[in-house]
Amino acid sequence: SFSFLFFSPQEELRELREQPTDPQAEQEIIDSIEEVYFSSDSFDTVQYELEKLPSDLNLLELEEYRDKLKRQQAAVSKRVADLILEKQPSYVKELERVTSLQTNLQLAAVICTNARRQLHAAKEGFTEASLGLLANQRRRQLLTGLLKSLRTIKTLQRTDVRLSEMLEEEDYPGAIQLCLECQKAASTFKHYNCIRWEQLDVALSKTCKHFDVSHYTKVQLAYKLLGKTQTAMDQLHMHFTQAIHNTVFQVVLGYVELCAGNADTKFQKMPYKDLCTHITTDSYIPCLTDLCKALWEVMLSYHLTMQWHDEHYKEEETTPGAGNAEGSDESTVGRSYVKKKLEHGLTRIWQDVQLKVKAYLLGTDVSNFKYDDFIVVLDVISRLMQVGEEFCGSKSELLQESIKRQSVNYFKNYHRTRLEELRMFLENETWELCPVKSNFSIAQLHEFRFMGQCRSPSVSPSRQPESTEPVELCLFEQYLQGGNPFEMQIDNKDEETEDVLASNGYESDELEKSVYQDYDSDSDVPEELKQDYVDEQTGDGPVKSVSRETLRSRKRSDYNAPILTNTTLNVIRLVGKYMQMMNILKPIAFDVIHCVSQLFDYYLYAVYTFFGRNDMYESSGLGLISSRLRTTLSRIQESLINMVSPHASPEERKEKVPSPHLSQLVVLTSSDTLYGLAERVVATESLVFLAEQFEFLQPHLDTTMPSAKKPFLQQFYSQTVSTASELRKPIYWIVAAKAIDYEQMLLLMAGVKWDIKEIMSQHNVYVDVLLKEFEKFNQRLGDVSKIVRIPLPVSNVLWEHCIRLANRTLVEGYANVKKCSNEGRALMQLDFQQFLMKLEKLTDLRPIPDKEFVETYIKAYYLTENDMEQFIKNHREYSMKQLTNLVNVCLGSHINKKARQKLLAAIDDIDRPKR
């Protein structure tokens, strides 16, 4: 469409011939054409060019522009002409082919027309006339035969009427003959739908869910008459498999649709495995319970089916003439087949049950379930595994693997949260006494009731070891007449809570507060408690009033109650919960026990960190922390305590817990409270109590622990639990070290003159000052005992520490003496004997600790050179300074300078390995 209004066609041809033949120049002219000319066929070139004209026309410029357009048109026309010439041979050749094809098509049309005409003639003359007659004749014959068969079948249906008539006529041979003919006729026409056995198959399938003896007997008898007993068994197993699938699908589908509301999702078309992922958390347990109930019905039906066959075959064997001679071998083979088929089916059906329940278990993440809810899940699955064991002797590997996977996942998350909670409890614990009854036992706690019900850990959770019957009935026997083993499993949660706190009908809050005060006084007992006690629930009064002695005895008994805190109680409850889980799910027993040990470890570490950590232990020389306790504390710190920075990776934080910090409400620096002795007693003795509970639980834990992991449990008890009481020494030593002013005693001893020349009959003043300190300590100890009971072992440790520190201070004071005579040594002995005599009246601790430590040091003054050298080698409990002073003080009396050098060298040799 490259044409213009500026020149005629003749001019175009002339211009075309005048164009240069240089291809490159020609291509450049074509490239210079504007793109708009190639846009579409509807493009109006004339309008386009006229619109481009400027308002002021210049003839010379117009002619130049026209010449340019003419050159472009010429180039395009020449290119088109060249292309046409180039394609001319191909065009001619293709035209010849088209002409030839047209001729062939015309010939084919003539051939097809002739063929159709001839086929039409054959159809009218042969097919419709001859073959049609044959087909009609064949159909007539088939219908005639069918009519005959239908008449025979109709006769069969009316046979029962004729049989009744013949029996009334007493024509027994005729009746038997008629029966035989009917059986023969029935077998002849069994290929008809009306003779097929679909209804019998449906009747067989109904036994898979609700087994009925009479119904099943009829069905089996019918199959036996047909000679299809083995086929019936094959069909039966297929029906059981289908029943399991349909049952679980319908149960889960019902809950999913119920919880989904009006959702448009087509749940019915979902695979069962995907359907299980749509179960909500709230409906998880009810659905699981209903699932197990439904599967129980199927398994019970199978169990009853096997039972029916066992009893039926026993009857056949014991009944004379039960089978004819000809069919006895065949009957034996059939029974053998049925027996093997049924036994093999047990495993297959249980495998199907496991697969369905496994898919359900793994379809939901249960890691965030509440503890009680998860315990219910474990209980239901535990009961299901017991069913499997009784059903076919299976160990339920699939169920164990799936519930173990869920349990480990749940337990790690649960334990991590509990450890964080324990840290929070410990950091907010003010270490005040939690008042419990004197007869408190962990068996009274709800969490440990499973131990009373037990069930040895080696048997199934629902079986009781002690029973009035000699042999316990299995589940299939228990629920044979009705009911379901999964019906009552989740109804035991709302039991009444235990009553372990000290308050009861005889005590008010005020009396509760005064439990640990003056025992012999009842002035603090409210008046209403001195009157007759009235039962708040019934309104009935007792036979006699409660006397003051009764109240006083009750106070005394509560005074002897265990020392524990709210945190201790929480830890004990937590251990109970862990043990419940471990008892129900033995595959993760080791994981649970390991976590139980961490609870104790963290509690022990917290008590040590809060009350027992001190850098002066090593310098005291008292051996306050044993190597075993030191190893335990190091192990706990390394394996459980997160000592790294807060910027540590999540993996590092996940496995460990930050070190706890003592609550700011707990003050341990006040001398008025004996440096927090009450809190220290509550903390330490609650730990000892916790250790005692762990000792009580050891046999149960040991029976649950896998044999390969038992060394871990034994080591935990021998290395950790048994060290709890060892914390008393370092914790109470801090109190003993501050409770008595030992520095004042050293200053007073420094002012005493020991190089006296005559025997003294009066002891020194520092002894009285020291004894007054002990009396003051004893009084403050009594004050603390009104707040919290101080057990005898604690009292003994405190007195032992104080006395040992006092005795070591005495030795240190004697070692500071520059000059001392024999009379001075006698005065030392007098002072010490006075101290011992008065001290024995203050404490019942016997023997007095470190008594020999002081006496031996004083008597060492009298030793000769050789004896003193041996003394230095044998008594490494004395410091280098104390031994050196002993030698120096003896110089001039019975040791010369040469001997002094020898003895000092011996002291230096003893001390050298310590450097």
**What are the Cα distances from residue 241, in Å, to 200, 218, 298?**
18, 22, 10
Instruction: Give residue 425's pLDDT.
Output: 94
Q: Which of 172, 206, 237 is the last residue of a domain?
A: 172
Confirm whether 849 is domain-assigned. Answer: yes
Q: How far apart are CA 351 and CA 268, in angstroms?
A: 24
> 731 is written with which tokens?
């914790």
> 193 is written with which tokens?
């739908």
Please indicate, yes or no, whether residues 706 and 745 belong to a single structural domain of this protein: no
Please indicate, yes or no, whether residues 291 and 354 belong to a single structural domain of this protein: yes
Please indicate, yes or no, whether residues 231 and 206 belong to a single structural domain of this protein: yes
> 353 is written with which tokens?
């049950």
**What are the Cα distances from residue 550, in Å, to 393, 528, 545?**
59, 15, 10
CATH at residue 769: 1.20.58
Model pTM score: 0.63
Please indicate, yes or no, whether residues 216 and 138 belong to a single structural domain of this protein: no
Q: How far apart are CA 717 and CA 766, in angstroms?
A: 47
Please indicate, yes or no, whether residues 772 and 649 belong to a single structural domain of this protein: no
Please indicate, yes or no, whether residues 747 and 881 belong to a single structural domain of this protein: no
> 173 is written with which tokens?
């041979």
Q: Which of 856, 884, 902 is the last residue of a domain?
A: 856
Q: Provide φ and ψ at 501, rounded to 5°.
A: -75, 160
Please indicate, yes or no, whether residues 146 and 260 belong to a single structural domain of this protein: no
Please indicate, yes or no, whether residues 599 and 693 belong to a single structural domain of this protein: yes
Residue 276 zone, left/alpha/beta (φ > 0; ψ -120 to 50; rest): alpha
Instruction: Give residue 156's pLDDT.
Output: 67
Q: In 227-327, where does DSSP find H-type helix? A: 229-260, 272-276, 281-318
Confirm whether 248 is domain-assigned. Answer: yes
Confirm whether 372 is domain-assigned. Answer: no
**Mean pLDDT per 10-residue interval, the chain, length 915 residues:** 45 53 80 80 80 83 86 86 86 89 92 90 77 83 83 71 73 72 67 56 78 82 77 85 91 87 76 90 92 91 87 72 51 79 89 92 88 87 89 87 86 90 94 88 85 49 41 73 71 52 47 38 39 39 42 50 92 92 81 92 94 67 80 91 66 77 90 90 94 93 88 93 92 91 92 88 92 93 91 93 93 91 91 94 90 92 87 88 88 79 86 53
Element (H, E) at 155: helix 132-157
Q: Which of 137, 172, 207 is the last residue of a domain?
A: 172
DSSP 613: -
Residue 396 zone, left/alpha/beta (φ > 0; ψ -120 to 50; rest): left
Peptide bond before 286: cis, by omega within 30 degrees of 0?
no
Is 316 within 8 Å of 322 (Cβ atoms)?
yes
Long-range contacts of 629-637 (CB under 8 A, 24+ apart): 629/723, 629/726, 629/727, 631/719, 632/604, 632/719, 632/720, 632/723, 633/605, 633/608, 635/719, 636/601, 636/602, 636/604, 636/605, 636/720, 637/605
Confirm whether 549 is domain-assigned. Answer: no
Please indicate, yes or no, whether residues 444 and 580 belong to a single structural domain of this protein: yes
Q: How far apart are CA 568 and CA 573, in angstroms?
A: 9
Confirm whether 697 is domain-assigned. Answer: yes
Please indicate, yes or no, whether residues 158 and 270 belong to a single structural domain of this protein: no
> 337 is written with which tokens?
């087949």
Confirm whether 277 is domain-assigned. Answer: yes
Q: Of how many residues is the chain composed?
A: 915
Confirm whether 17 is domain-assigned. Answer: no
The total number of structural domains in the chain stands at 5
| Residue 286: count of CB within 10 angstroms of its CB | 12
> Domain residues for 209?
198-314+335-364
Please indicate, yes or no, whether residues 209 and 101 belong to a single structural domain of this protein: no
What lies within 8 Å, CB to CB, of 21 at 6+ separation is none
Instruction: Give residue 209's pLDDT.
Output: 76
Is 380 within 8 Å of 292 (Cβ atoms)?
yes
Confirm whether 212 is domain-assigned. Answer: yes
Instruction: Give residue 646's pLDDT.
Output: 56
Element (H, E) at 642: strand 641-642
Please indicate, yes or no, whether residues 102 and 164 belong to a single structural domain of this protein: yes
